[in-house]
Structure 1
Amino acid sequence: MVQVRAQQPVNTDGSINLEAWLDHVLKMDPALEREPLKDACEFARTAEQRCLEGREAPAEGAPSTFRTGLEIAEILADLKLDQDSLVAALLYRGVRLNQISLEQVQKHFGAVVSKLIEGVLRMAAISASLNPRESLVLNAQSQVENLRKMLVAMVDDVRVALIKLAERTCAIREVKNGSEEKRRRVAREVFDIYAPLAHRLGIGHIKWELEDLSFRYLEPEQYKQIAKLLHERRLDREQFIENVVQQLKQALADNGIQGEITGRAKHIYSIWRKMQRKGLEFSQIYDVRAVRILVPEIRDCYTALGIVHTLWRHIPKEFDDYIANPKENGYRSLHTAVIGPDGKVLEVQIRTHAMHEEAELGVCAHWRYKGTDVKSTSSHYEEKISWLRQVLEWHEELGDIGGLAEQLRVDIEPDRVYVFTPDGHAIDLPKGSTPLDFAYRVHTEIGHGCRGAKVDGRIVPLNYSLQTGEQVEIITSKQGVPSRDWLNPNLGYITTSRARAKIVHWFKLQARDQNVAAGKAMLERELSRLDLPPVDYERLAEKANLKTPDDMFAALGAGDLRLAHVVTLAQQLVEPDRGAEQLDLIPRRFGGAAKPGRRGDIQIQGVGNLLTQIAGCCQPLPGDPIVGYITQGRGVTIHRQDCANALQLASREPERIIQVSWGPAPVQTYPVDILIRAYDRSGLLRDVSQVLLNERINVLAANTLSNKEDSTAQMVLTIEIPGLDALGRLLARIAQLPNIIEARRQRSS
């Protein structure tokens, strides 16, 4: 559930009771000093009053910069941040709204506070990069530069990120009474950037609040539905938890363990995410009824776990030991699910008091300042700062704004695999990682020179999916260089953004002529395999928003342009009017008169009941970043965000640009013939069938013929396929089988 805002103490006339507020903050953290905080409060309040003199009264409900500063400071005091951080928080909104200058801050409160505020101001660049209306009219290179400065500020002093997190927490609390457009804009920014950042820094209670509030505004119906289900069962659940707590207290006391047991808060977004990820109903979610046990020592955690499993039956596959294998953000705890009293499922979390403090405060629990020098008391703090530095390095290599949210969201899901180097060092990777991901995780040059891999002593393909506990050895060559096939998502060689960034960066450094030749060969090979007619490369480059075909080939060769995207554009050029076999993400039979809020079975959300139509200039596909333009009499036209016409419209009439998004669409499939030629061998048909099974492809017809003279076999299969991406992936998988000569699409007669 979202956190309820605490009311600030007020005098009888409605003004803030500053002395009472200071008492409250000092009680939260006695290490703080009263006078510097009081001076900052008075300075901020005076600056706001001075700016309001002679002006009209602010709109009712408009947030006061002074009161917001107090709220930000309260959040930071709860996180146990230092004196300078709280002073910077009290003054930040005033500086942002030009009520106070940085020169005044430096003169009255020192260079450290001034530098902190300057760093937080730089982080505001994130908002512009995520706001479609603003990003359409900003220069892309300036956005990249702003984001680099923001990341530098974060890495140099983590307090900057913490102040910004607190400020965004206040911002999303404040939009409750704002317009729907503003609620969604702030919620999207918070959800994409700041909730993952809070998670990555290990600040649990901030992360939960940001996720729940964002979910409330982005998916209001689903939020209300889960909230209603939680409320309906609240009384029964509270009675159940009370009985469980009493049993556990008695059992722990009987075994001489001093444990603190409480019911655990229920977070709506986490419940919804688990329902979506595992395809469960609300009644099947285990942690709706949950308790947390806090004990003094690590050994007490495992003793308490044994007691829990003695009291109630453990549910298989619902136990996680994050003490032995901590999460990437340093989180440690034991999680288990049992069949509790009355046959009801119960989740139990067990951790020490120190682990609980870190789960709630994260990086804040492990640092202290002397002036501006950070001195860590835990390796977890250094790991978090190291991660921020890696984000900066990857961002420098990619120069890609769109990848920032992906980088920050890495490891937001709990699934990780833990593998070992030949020397026994543990390496953790996202679930589904390959030996190539492992190689680039160890060292960039090992990744570049990778030519093979051994897992537990046996040779495995480079797209093998690693499992926890395996030992991985990378076989390298001094003359080895990356292969462009590694960037092909259909082949599954890499899954992590780090590995992709390193490979793309390597190709960017190569000669343009090599990239042009390689890109052209890649495209021609893929068009031939998919059996698409000859395409005009001049028109295709124009459709890809590039000046010349060589620019397009160079971008393909360097990895800046996805092959699947170019192939889809090529098909739109050469097969605009094909019937039932149109292999596009949008079936042609859906093309017709535009209907309110939808194109065929594709929902377009965020525009109410307005009439919508797809722009003919850029023809956005589901999954493309899109923006809406309000026309005169023809409803809302949907453009790609990078469409040249949309950019011009946004610069001339920004007030008519609105935020829209794709809704869910049913998967459509189409019959396609594929031809497979191979040297005949035993088990060939079985291997091809296994690939079709793994890709979940339905076969409508099959015809096989063996030629004894040249020992070859030919298969013609009629399959059902949802789109070009799926077809390309299937053909690539089949082509990797032993003895395959070619696998391509075949025209039906």
Structure 2
Amino acid sequence: MVMRQYELVERVRAYDPGADEDALNRAYVFSMKAHGNQMRASGDPYFSHPVEVAGLLSEKKLDTASIITGLLHDTVEDTEVTVSEIQDKFGEEIAQLVDGVTKLSQLELQSDRHKQAENFRKLVLAMSKDIRVLIVKLADRLHNMQTLHFIKKEEKRRRIARETMDIYVPLAERIGIRDWKEALEDMAFRELNPDARASILNRLQFLSEQGGNLIDNIIKELKDLQKSHGIEVEVSGRQKTPYSIWRKMQRQNVGFEQLSDIMAFRVIVDTTEQCYHALGVIHSRYSVVPGRFKDYISLPKPNGYRSLHTGVIGPENQRIEIQIRTKEMHAIAELGVAAHWQYKQTGGSDQPSKEGRQYRWMRDMLDILANASNPDEFLEHTKMEMFSDQVFVFTPKGDLHALPRGATPVDFAYSVHTEIGNHCVAAKVNGRIVPLRTELRNGDQLEISTSSAQTPNPSWESFVVTGKARSCIRRFIRSKQREQYANLGREIIDKTFRQASYDLTEKALKAILDRFQCDTVEDLQVRVGEGQVASREVLYAIYPGAKDKESAKKVPARRAKDLPSHAIPVRGLIAGMAVHYAKCCHPLPGDRIVGIVTTGKGVTIHTIDCRTLEAFADMPERWIDVSWETDQTETASFVGRLHAVISNEPGSLASLTTAIGRDGGNIINLKFTNRGQDFFDLLVDVEVKDVRQLNNIMAALRATPVVNSVERSHG
């Protein structure tokens, strides 16, 4: 039965006597006429959906603008109504809210996941302007989930349920609307894993029948206990939801029978001081379950949730969870951001507070959005951000930062500020210097050292856990890779034209961009640097006669000794981006080197005597003559590989490592390849500045009595 017009208006006026009754009535009629004869999958008139959404919003006592938005939220998408028409009839504020909630994606995108990611990106942008957009969207999803069973296609039902679990449940949790979060979670769980849900419900029902008045008895004992210590409390109790029980079973890898704290009790007091007093009373009376105490009053959750949590072996010898909070804390715990909604009766207009805009997690999402290269990457990082448990750490000044469990100093640096993360060089945890990949613990105090010369290290991506850190690092890698490929491509093109004795101009390059499907000259240089386009193709495109000249000559197989004396410098190129140093020969500054173009990877640097080069003898177009850049190698370090044979006797390995360290070498890897009765063969990877330093280390090793032989390894 559709809620009648006067019923909705009376429901809103009951908590907001100053509500704009005329606007509510007009919105009700406007929406009903706009949707006309449209029907839902359930067979009900489509208009029943926006009315139910408005009803859900009124239960949270939201302002008139939100209720009207609920009534109108589907008119732009599903009818002929336009946003400008809504603005004319209901004002700019409501038009912006409706526009924010409207599903904007009308294009056929690559996949359901891509469409989901794109819609979520738009939702985050919209809700960053006004948190009410998210609340209306959640109410919309809640009613759609309540009628999900009317959709005939199982695949579509499961897709909607998975989207609800992945996106809307975490968002509802983040803004603290607990009952909506649990309802969405349960309905999605029912669709995605009906057997598990039914099994847990059956077991809960059995326990209820066996326990009789167990919950009532525990509530009475907790009340009496607090009253005997002079504390007036309200106590309520319930069993945990099927999904929370199932998730705990999965996380702890235990069966239902092994879970003993499936009941949660809430103790409501008047003041914060009484919260701690009541906690002391409970802990003095019952045995505490180790590791189950959490103080969310002194360290609130990001959504503003405050409460004390403890686990005890309580009344009736039952293991239970108890949450202790004030009435104000309870309102925020139940309603989240909706509990902050305030009405300022100024000139007859409602002006809701904007506290929801200040949520740190939303700012973090916007940072991720700015750095992500595509909607799928954004969705990946935000899901990671929303699902993580938390650890609380402090700055040296005592400022609190909440991070996902498993976070590192690099994650912390990015949470403080993007630039601090980008230029992070070292970290102190509790006054002690630690590796940047160190996992942080609750209560750690962090101090980050920065340097303007430092840039994000691509290896950081392997250990950071926050979406913001990962997206910033990826953004740097993308921009740096492009810069590196462009520089390399420019050098390669210039070299090719000089060798062929042809002039190269910017105008000539712009004239051939369409042929290579590039928008700018830099795009073309990037494609050459990546190995996607051969520099000779660029030459032939500008000077077609060059191809005829070269085809008249017989092109011999390429050898390293045939390379011209003038070479492209390896200038400021970061290994792993545009340039890769070959693992087969480990080239070092001072070696004669050659580059091999690898499609999509740029250039791989080899020593001229590397046996791998034989495989490219018949591909002269892939050879590039390169040289070391003096300025770059003064501070950079490279890896040289040694093959050593040492005596099998005590202390021989210590003698080898001491000799290497004495000459400034840093061992980064050591591997035994053969163990004999008298000698061991091993490979040693040593970090050095150039080939001269490696030669000095080899000379020192040859003078060491326990070292039988040492050679540079080329394989």
Q: TM-score, normalised by structure 1?
A: 0.63
Deviations 1:295-333 (A, max 9, x none): 111111111112222332111111111112112222111
Q: Is 1:160 matched up with 2:217?
A: no
Instruction: Tell me how far apart the structure 2 counterparts of residues 677 and 361 of structure 1 sit (CA, whole Å).
Output: 71
CA deviations 1:212-249 (Å, max 9, x no partner) are 11111112222222122222222345611100111111
For the 8 Å contact 1:196–1:408, the answer to whether it is kept is: no
The Cα offsets for residues 427-453 of structure 1, whole Å up to 9 and x where unpaired, read as 221111111222222222222222222
Which residue does 2:274 correspond to in 1?
Answer: 300
Query: What is residue 549 of structure 2 aligned with on the other side?
Result: none
Partner residue of 1:335? 309
SS of the counterpart of 1:510?
helix
| Residue in structure 2 matched with residue 512 of structure 1 by the alignment | 482
1:72·1:170 contact (CA, 8 Å) conserved in 2?
yes
* Contact 1:192–1:405 (8 Å) recurs in 2: no
Q: CA deviation at 1:21?
A: 4.5
Q: CA shift at 1:41, angstroms?
A: 1.8
Residues 60 and 520 (structure 1), Cα distance of their counterparts in 2 relative to 1, 3 Å cut: closer
| Alignment map for 1:167-316 (pairs within 5 Å) | 167-179=140-152, 180-237=154-211, 239-264=213-238, 266-316=240-290
Q: Quote the RMSD (CA, aligned, Å).
A: 3.8
Q: Residues 673-705 of structure 1, C-alpha deviation per residue, up to 9 Å, x if partnerless?
A: xx9999934999xxxxxxxxxxxxxxxxx9874
Give yes or no for contact 2:381–2:471 (8 Å, CA) kept in 1: no
Measure, in 2, the Cα distance between the counterparts of 1:60 and 1:430: 40
> Residue 694 of structure 1 aligns with which residue?
none
- Which residue does the alignment assign to 1:109? 90
- Whether 2:43 is the aligned partner of 1:43: answer no
**What is the distance in 2 between the residues matched to 1:454 and 1:231?**
52
- Give the secondary-structure state (helix, strand or coil) at the position aligned to 2:447: strand
Q: Provide, for residues 537-568 of structure 1, a one-character-per-residue CA deviation record: whole Å limited to 9, x for no partner.
A: 99xxxxxxxxx9543559x9xxxxxxxxxxxx
- Distance across 1 between alignment mates of 2:480 and 2:468: 19
After superposition, residues 213-612 of structure 1 pair within 5 angstroms as 213-237=187-211, 239-264=213-238, 266-368=240-342, 375-376=353-354, 381-384=356-359, 386-413=360-387, 415-487=389-461, 489=462, 492=463, 494-510=464-480, 512=482, 514=484, 518-519=575-576, 549-553=598-602
Pair 36,246 (structure 1): closer, same or farther in 2 beyond 3 Å: same
Indicate the SS of the match to 2:393. Answer: strand
1:706-717 aligned at under 5 Å gives the runs none
Supply the AA of the counterpart residue of 1:81. Answer: L
Amino acid at match of 1:503: I
Give the whole-Å Cα distance in 2 for the aligned partners of 1:86 and 1:453.
49
- Matched to 1:403, the amino acid is E
Alignment check: 8 A CA contact 1:25 1:74 kept:
no
* Inter-partner Cα distance in structure 1 for 2:144 and 2:585: 53
Max Rg structure: 2
User: Counterpart amino acid of 1:375?
Assistant: S
Is the partner of 1:551 in helix, strand or coil?
A: coil
Q: What secondary structure does 1:317 align onto?
A: coil
Q: Cα distance 1:712–1:224, how it changes in 2: closer, same or farther (>3 A)?
A: same
- Structure 2's unaligned 5+ residue stretches are 486-529, 531-572, 587-594, 605-642, 647-651, 658-671, 685-714
Change (3 A) 1:149 1:373: farther
Compute the displacement of 1:44 (Å).
2.2
Mapped partners of 1:207, 1:421: distance in 2: 32
Give the Cα–Cα distance (whole angstroms) in 2 for the partners of residues 189 and 165 of structure 1: 12
What secondary structure, in the 3-state scheme, does the structure 2 residue paired with 1:519 have? coil
User: 2:334 is matched by which residue type in structure 1?
Assistant: E
Instruction: Give secondary structure in 2 for the equivalent of 1:318.
Output: coil
3-state SS, counterpart of residue 459 of structure 1: strand
1:635-654 equivalence runs, <5 A = none
8 Å contact from structure 2 (residues 120, 379) kept in 1: no
Counterpart contact for 1:119–1:154, Cα < 8 Å: yes
Residue of structure 1 in register with 2:491 after alignment? none
One-letter identity of the residue aligned with 1:175: L
Cα distance in 1, alignment partners of residues 156 and 388 from structure 2: 31
Q: Counterpart in 1 of 2:78?
A: 97
Name the amino acid aligned to 2:576.
G
Structure 1 residues 68-107: Cα deviation after superposition (integer angstroms, max 9, x where no partner):
1121111111222110110111122333310544344223
Q: Which residue identity lines up with residue 510 of structure 1 in the other structure?
A: K
Q: Which SS does the other structure have where 2:290 is aligned?
A: strand
2:479 is matched by which residue type in structure 1? L
Change (3 A) 1:231 1:181: same
CA distance in 1, matches of 2:449, 2:27: 60
Change in CA separation of 1:506 and 1:414 when aligned onto 2, cut-off 3 Å: closer
In structure 2, how many angstroms separate the alpha carbons of the residues matched to 1:32 and 1:238? 46
Give the superposition deviation at 1:175: 0.9
Q: Distance in 2 between matches of 1:100 and 1:510?
A: 46
Instruction: Give the partner amino acid of 1:42.
Output: V
**How big is each residue's C-alpha offset from its partner over 1:33-56, in whole Å with a ceiling of 9 and x where there is no partner?**
44432332222223334x46xxxx
| Alpha-carbon spacing, 1:195–1:23, altered in 2? closer, same or farther (3 Å) | same
Distance 1:438 1:257, change over 3 A: same
Distance 2:50 2:471 in 1: 39
Q: C-alpha distance in 2, partners of 1:394/1:253?
A: 50
Q: Is the 8 A contact 1:197 1:408 kept in 2?
A: no
Counterparts in 2 of 1:155 and 1:21: CA distance versus 1, 3 Å: closer
Aligned-pair CA distance for 1:176:
1.7
Q: What is residue 151 of structure 1 aligned with on the other side?
A: 124
How far apart are the structure 2 equivalents of 1:682 and 1:250? 74
Report sequence identity in percent.
35
Letter in 2 for 1:64: P
Contact 2:35 2:79 survives alignment (8 Å): no
Structure with larger RCO (C-alpha < 8 A, sep 6+): 1
Distance 2:215 2:68 in 1: 41
The 8 Å contact of residues 204 and 360 in structure 1, kept in 2 or not, is answered as yes
CA contact (8 A) 2:62 2:341 kept: no
For 1:562, the equivalent position in structure 2 comes to none
Contact 2:145/2:187 (8 A) holds in 1: yes
What secondary structure does 1:338 align onto? strand
* 1:82 alignment partner in structure 2: 63
Q: How far has the Cα of 1:275 moved from its partner?
A: 1.2
The question of whether the paired residues in 1 share the 8 Å contact of 2:176 and 2:336 is answered with yes
Partner of 2:42: 61
Q: 1:23 to 1:369 in 2, by over 3 A?
A: closer
Q: Secondary structure at the match of 2:480?
A: coil
Asked whether the 8 Å contact 2:382–2:467 carries over to 1, the reply is no
- Note if 1:132 corresponds to 2:84: no
Match of 1:509, SS state, is: helix
SS in 1 for 2:43: coil
Residues 634-683 of structure 1 show CA distances to partners (whole Å, capped at 9, x for unaligned) of xxxxxxxxxxxxxxxxxxxxxxxxxxxxxxxxxxxxxxxxx999993499
Tell me the CA shift for residue 355 of structure 1. Answer: 1.0
- Residues 32 and 408 (structure 1), Cα distance of their counterparts in 2 relative to 1, 3 Å cut: farther
**Residue aligned with 1:375, SS:** coil
